Structure 1
Amino acid sequence: MSVNAMIVSAGEALEVLRAGWQAQQAGQMTASYMLHGRPGVGKTQVIEQLAAEIGARLFDLRLTTIEPQDLRGLPYYDHEAQKTKWYRPEDLPDDPAQPSILFLDELTAASPMLQPTVYGLLQERRVGRHRLPGNVFIVAAGNTVEDGAIAYQMNTALSDRLIHLHVQAAATDWLDNYAVPKGLHATVVAFIKTRPDLLDTTERAVAEGQLIATTPRSWERVSQIMGAVAERRLRNVLIAGTVGDAVAAEFALIADDIAATVQVQEMLEASRKDRIGLYPASMHGLNALIYGLIGVLDARNADAVIDCMAEIRQLARQRPEEAFQRMPLGELCTYGFEGLIRKGLDLGLGERFLGHEAYRSYAAERKAAGL
């Protein structure tokens, strides 16, 4: 059966779950939620981010690795009462003073024998005689049969106990709300910025019978490879084994161009006259520079970073190359400042922007243009 719920990005799913948690805390609504989505689309990261935001302890139950008795607990005989009683499993939250998220991962891949045990958790919030405290937020996640993953069709009795969200990868959402804040390698971020169609190729890979697809999770792994393996040949082998050889070949060309033209630290240390000649003359290079500047921003280099970002909009006047005449430099500068300001506010650097001449000039230009 298809998932006939509204399609949302990972960022939108986080907003919905955040609203659900707030409603539960206010005593207005208590529900269990289900995140459907392809492998690697970011479902687990959404739950981890929510737990960090609300200060909750995360109980992550991988349902493919447990049996019904692991949830129900183990029986023992109470001779005095002449009754069989149960030892509750330690994997279930029971502290009423500590907010908790019970994350039932891989629900659709769990054995059908386990599902009846899960029913009580999702609807009545209990297993046997053990009841979950009111500060426990329940979210499940899983793949579908159509995703090429191991999965069972969800039966109606289970489906009816859940609020369903269909999570799909969206490049802009992933870049703004995950990749950039987490500091993924600037080359990966720049590549997806210009090739958003390659963020998630699972559907295409399944249709063509290919084993390897790109996903948000695989691009995070590529970021780790870029930072960990310096030798180009070995790095390319690892990346091909992560996102497939065709995508890896395209990524390698752009990575080489960026490595040859983007020198963030050198630009920050150069004089303004010398710095103008260091700007890369390609969209990939400028995107990588923008994300590199956002990544290195701190209290010590804020002035130099703002100067570098502001100068992007002037490159068509400062550099003779025809490439700069064709590029949307104003849009790139604006996009860069949006990310830079978000990070600056997080670091408490808002006053540094307002007091910086280059930023005031940039803001005045946009105001004069009605933007």
Structure 2
Amino acid sequence: MIVSAGEALDVLRAGWEAQRAGHMLASYMMHGRPGVGKTQVVEQLAAEIGARLFDLRLTTIEPQDLRGLPYYDHEAQKTKWYRPEDLPDDVDHPSILFLDELTAASPMLQPTVYGLLQERRVGRHKLPENVFIVAAGNTVEDGAIAYQMNTALSDRLIHLHVQAAAADWLDNYAVPRGLHPTVVAFIKTRPDLLDTTERTVAEGQLIATTPRSWERVSQILKAVPDRRIRNVLVAGTVGEAVAAEFAMIADDISATVQVQDMLEADRKARISLYPASMHGLNALIYGLIGILESRNVNGVIDIMADIRHLGRLREEEAFKRMPLSELCTYGFEGLIRKGLDLGLGERFLGHDAYRAYAAERKEAGLA
């Protein structure tokens, strides 16, 4: 079944809870294009449940790396095996065994993997019941190196086909991880460019955009101040055509979005600092969410609340054409999620600007 990365995390979370309660013991397989976020899903689950993560890249190991090394027991006159350290054996704390790149692993390795997935053992080494098993891999159609999975292996797994979904990626990954507001704003208005792998493979091109590549663009924006070098790096990450469009948006945002200046200005001066484009306002919203903390919560709420009034507070026709109320609502949803995580819920409820915004929505029947 096709699911987003966020939905895959929900499924794996439910599978872990069922396993922990003793109701179901299963292994899971996430199929998906390179860079779609499979590894991040497993890492996030491990962080949530406090599990030690054993990340095995099956393209870099041999069957004996899973089985261990033999030694001769002279007293028993038997050959025995040293257990490999890459397999979990802690019975007191949960572990996740992540078998990555399963579909690209050598066919010679698959019989060894069968034992892990079906019997939860390799040779005499048996996995404890608090080990949660997840595998992942690409498909032949993704343009990646991959073998067709045979039915004997497939039958041992619960399968999830993970595809990138812009709304899911923005809400559940990009914003919580604090990706650069310019990247988040760009994907918000160009969701079709979050993942172009299928189109790129069909056209015989090398560079595609993926959630992973956009995270790298965020890192480039934060780390490289020189505009020319930054543009070269972005083009090498997402391709020249996408990078050219992104550069125009990035320049507009960097010239108009001044979150810190707005926080330090009085309201009259602040109104003149709002960007007069959808890209700019989206970047401002994500910048406000990213910067929110206890010390600036009042100023952040004030700036977010005034977005809905820009049509009358500013003279530019552009503001009268934009869905300001929807932008303000979307912004407050993200702001409140982060505020609750930071324990700032009461600060929102006690703020005049937020109460006025909530009252307007209630009066319009939207609350």
**TM-score, with structure 2 as normaliser:** 0.99
Deviations 1:140-185 (A, max 9, x none): 0000000000000000000000000000000000000000000000
Aligned pair 1:100/2:95, yes or no?
yes
Rounded to whole Å, the distance in 2 between the matches of 1:278 and 1:67 is: 59
Match of 2:230 in 1: 235
In structure 1, the partner of 2:295 is: 300
Q: Which of the numbers 151, 155, 163 marks the counterpart of 1:160?
A: 155
**Distance in 2 of aligned mates of 1:79 and 1:262:** 74
Supply the distance in 2 between the matched residues of 1:206 and 1:40 (Cα, whole angstroms).
14
Please, which of 202, 211, 229 is the counterpart of residue 206 of structure 2? 211
Partner AA of 1:51 in structure 2: A
In the alignment, which residue of structure 2 is the partner of 1:145?
Answer: 140
Indicate the residue corresponding to 2:268 in structure 1.
Answer: 273
- Which of residues 39, 44, 50 is equivalent to 2:39? 44
Moved over 3 A (4+): none
CA deviation after TM superposition for structure 1 residue 77, in Å = 1.0
Q: Which amino acid counterpart does residue 25 of structure 2 have in structure 1?
A: T
The percent of aligned pairs where both chains have the same amino acid is 87
Query: Among 327, 332, 338, which residue is 1:332 paired with?
Result: 327
User: Does structure 1 residue 253 correspond to structure 2 residue 248?
Assistant: yes
| Letter matched to residue 308 of structure 2 | R
Work out the CA distance in 2 between the residues paired with 1:73 and 1:230: 48
2:4 corresponding residue in structure 1 = 9
Q: 1:313 aligns with which of 308, 311, 317?
A: 308
Matching residue's letter, 2:3:
V
Partner of 2:176: helix, strand, or coil?
A: helix
1:68, CA displacement in angstroms? 0.3
Out of 44, 50, 56, which is 2:51 matched to?
A: 56
* Structure 1 segments unaligned to the other structure (5+ residues): 1-5
Give the Cα separation in 1 of the matches to 2:218 and 2:125. Answer: 43
**What's the CA shift for 1:122?**
0.2
Pairing of 1:117-128 with structure 2 (within 5 A): 117-128=112-123
Counterpart of 1:3 in structure 2 is none
- Alignment deviations for residues 188-236 of structure 1 (CA, whole Å, 9 cap, x no partner): 0000000000000000000001000000000000000000111110000
Q: Deviations over 1:63-102 (max 9, x none)?
A: 0000000001111111111111111100000010010000
1:166-245 aligned at under 5 Å gives the runs 166-245=161-240
Q: What corresponds to 2:340 in structure 1?
A: 345
Q: Distance in 2 between matches of 1:87 and 1:114?
A: 19
1:87 aligns with 2:82: yes
1: CA distance, partners of 2:124 / 2:365 = 63
1:322 — aligned with what? 317
Query: TM-score by structure 1 length?
Result: 0.98
Distance in 2 between residues matched to 1:214 and 1:205, nearest whole Å: 9
Distance 2:129 2:32 in 1: 28
